[in-house]
Each structure stands twice: as structure tokens, then as C-alpha cells.
């Protein structure tokens, strides 16, 4: 975590380290199995492709997210009030100021992305600007800035590479795309078709990656709520903002939601994928945590 005045979260650091270690191990296992059942060339190719994809996501995460959310960077002259809020929060948190962006959509939301605090961007939608009060918006921005300070966006971006590589292999095996690597062989030493072995291994890696990333993503949202609330000392304002955002998205046309759904995992409130597949904890759980923090802050000191 970068040195800022955001409260530390040893649990988040431990979880990010564990997920990166487990996903790295899964990726290595995937490469080894493919090398054994299909050929060493495939293992090397998948390893290089996976590393290359992770590097690409690491270096271009801000551009990819901005493009997915149809956002643009804005100057202090274009959005003076928004820049002013972020200036104050960054001074309060003692952290570098990220770039600032606005997405022209009625979907009320916000997100942060970038490979480091120096390359980060915090973006809000026009929908959220017209929905929240100043205090509520500051609570949302503090939440997003804590993601930058915790560097959890970087971890989520790189960690997703193993699942994406496994998903590509699954599709390739399913549709016979591995034939020129040796997938045309009818069976391996165990008597199973090579494409079936590749399919099963890839599915296992993808499923485990999916579960690990969802668990980490939900925890990091709770961590960002907590850090943002302690920075502003106004957890009730963030709780009010989350309720307004959730209610506001229910009134947004489905077509508009689909246009920005690709960036849902980065947003403060989920746009798609509810229930077990959600990248965010239930709203009730987030509100309960913020209520506890508010009670703690309201408690008179001896």
C-alpha cells in the first residue's frame, strides 16, 4: 500500500498476496499440464501469452477502463468543482492527485483505475454528478481514492489474466482451435482425447480464478468503504450515496446499463452480475459496516 493517511488494511494486503500466489500457481499448473498432454510448444506459448497479456493489462489498464466506460479526461477548467473536491481529498490523504475523468452516461457511478498512484485516474459519470450532494460525492471520491492508495486495482487487473487465458483455452478446446498444436491427436497416454483434457484443466483454472477474484473484489469494496469513511469522517454520507446510486440505477434504461457493464467490476456499485457472481458485497452489508463506523465516531471519548 502507498504511504497515505488512509487507514491500513492488513486483511486486504494478505488477501491480495494470497490471491496472486494462488493464481500464479494455477497458471503454472495450467502450462505444465498443457505441456504434458499437448506438447511443450503449447506450454511455452500459453506461458508467454499469459505473461504478455498481464503486462498489457498492467500498462494499459487506465486506457482500457476509460474506453469501456466511454469516459474522457477533464481539466480543472472543464470541471472545477470536481477537481476541487479531489484536490482537498488528496491533500487530506497526503497522496498524489490522480487524473480526473467524466463518463457521459446517465448511469450513476464512479470508478478508479491505473497501474500506480502516478498513473491513476478517478472517473465519475454525469449521472452521479446530478444525483449526489457535495458530501455524498466526496464520500464516493474518497472510496475511489482509497482503491488507488491500496493498489488493489492493479492486483485485480493482473490477477484476472490467468482466468482470461484459461477462458480462451476453454473456447479453443471446445471448438477445436488447438488442433495445430497437436490437439488433433485422438488421445493421450491416459486414453482421453487431448481436447477434453485441455477443456477440463482450463475449466478448473477458470472456475477457481473466478471464485478467488470475486471474493477478493468483494472484500476490497468493503475495505474502500471503510478507508473512505475514516478519511472524511462522514460514513453516513457515503451510506446515503450508496443507497442513492443503487436506487438510481434501477431507473436507468437497460440499454444504457449494457453500454457500461464492461467496467462494472471497477465501479463503486455493481452494474451487472448480482448474487454469487457479483463483484461487490450486498448493499446491506456495506451499510451495516458504515453504520458501525458512524456509531464509533459518534461515541464520546473519555
Which one of 61-70, 125-134, 204-213, 244-253 scores highest in mean pLDDT?
125-134
pLDDT at residue 170 in the model:
60
Say yes or no to pLDDT of 131 above 70.
yes
Name which of 26, 16, 6 is nearest 201 in CA terms.
26
Selected catalytic residue, list 81, 135, 136, 144 = 144
pLDDT at residue 180 in the model:
42
Contact between residue 202 and residue 166 where contact means Cβ atoms under 8 Å apart: yes
Q: At what angle do helices 194-232 and 80-93 cross, to 10 degrees?
A: 90
Quickly list DSSP for 152-213.
Answer: HHHHHHHHHHHHHHHHHHHHHHHTTTTGGGTTTSS--TTSS-HHHHHHHHHHHHHHHHHHHH
Name which of 167, 157, 81, 68 is nearest 119 in CA terms.
157
Lookup result for grid cell 444504457: 256
Q: Assess whether 144 carries a catalytic annotation.
A: yes
**Helix, strand, coil proportions of the chain in percent (round to 5)?**
70, 5, 25
- Segment 226-272, tens digit of pLDDT: 999 999 999 999 999 999 999 998 888 888 888 787 778 889 998 86
Say yes or no to pLDDT of 167 above 70.
no
Distance from C-alpha of 204 to C-alpha of 104, rounded to nearest angstrom:
39
- 99-103 and 121-125 beta bridge pairing: parallel
pTM score, whole prediction: 0.85
Say yes or no to pLDDT of 187 above 60.
no
Centre a 10 Å sphere on the Cβ of residue 247 and count the other Cβ atoms it contains.
12
Say yes or no to pLDDT of 285 above 60.
yes
Which helix or strand (DSSP H or E) is residue 111 part of?
Answer: strand 110-113
Name which of 82, 104, 85, 103 is nearest 93 in CA terms.
85
Centre a 10 Å sphere on the Cβ of residue 88 and count the other Cβ atoms it contains.
13
Amino acid at each position: 500500500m502507498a504511504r497515505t493517511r488512509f487507514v491500513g488494511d492488513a486483511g486486504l494486503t494478505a488477501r491480495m498476496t494470497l490471491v496472486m500466489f494462488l493464481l500464479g500457481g494455477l497458471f503454472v499448473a495450467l502450462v505444465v499440464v498443457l505441456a504434458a498432454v499437448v506438447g511443450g510448444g503449447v506450454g511455452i506459448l500459453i506461458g508467454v501469452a499469459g505473461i504478455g497479456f498481464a503486462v498489457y493489462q498492467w500498462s494499459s489498464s487506465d486506457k482500457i477502463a476509460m474506453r469501456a466506460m466511454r469516459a474522457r479526461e477533464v481539466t480543472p477548467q472543464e470541471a472545477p468543482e470536481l477537481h476541487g473536491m479531489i484536490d482537498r481529498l488528496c491533500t487530506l490523504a497526503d497522496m498524489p492527485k490522480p487524473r480526473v475523468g467524466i463518463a457521459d452516461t446517465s448511469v450513476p457511478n464512479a470508478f478508479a483505475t491505473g497501474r500506480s498512484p502516478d498513473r491513476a485516474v478517478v472517473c465519475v459519470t454525469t449521472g452521479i454528478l446530478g444525483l449526489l450532494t457535495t458530501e455524498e460525492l466526496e464520500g464516493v471520491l474518497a472510496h475511489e481514492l482509497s482503491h488507488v492508495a491500496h493498489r488493489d486495482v492493479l492486483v485485480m487487473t493482473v490477477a484476472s489474466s490467468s482466468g482470461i487465458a484459461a477462458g480462451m483455452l476453454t473456447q479453443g478446446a471446445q471448438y477445436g482451435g488447438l488442433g495445430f498444436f497437436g490437439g488433433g491427436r485422438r488421445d493421450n497416454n491416459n486414453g482421453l482425447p487431448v481436447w477434453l483434457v485441455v477443456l477440463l484443466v482450463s475449466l478448473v483454472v477458470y472456475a477457481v480464478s473466478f471464485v478467488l477474484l470475486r471474493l477478493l473484489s468483494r472484500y476490497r469494496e468493503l475495505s474502500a468503504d471503510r478507508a473512505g469513511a475514516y478519511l472524511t469522517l462522514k460514513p453516513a454520507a457515503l451510506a446515503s450515496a450508496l443507497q442513492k446510486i443503487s436506487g438510481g440505477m434501477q431507473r436507468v434504461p437497460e440499454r444504457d446499463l449494457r453500454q457500461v457493464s464492461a467496467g462494472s467490476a471497477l465501479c463503486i456499485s455493481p452494474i451487472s452480475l448480482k448474487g454469487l457472481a457479483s463483484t461487490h458485497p450486498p448493499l446491506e452489508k456495506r451499510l451495516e459496516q458504515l453504520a458501525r463506523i458512524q456509531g464509533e465516531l459518534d461515541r464520546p471519548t473519555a
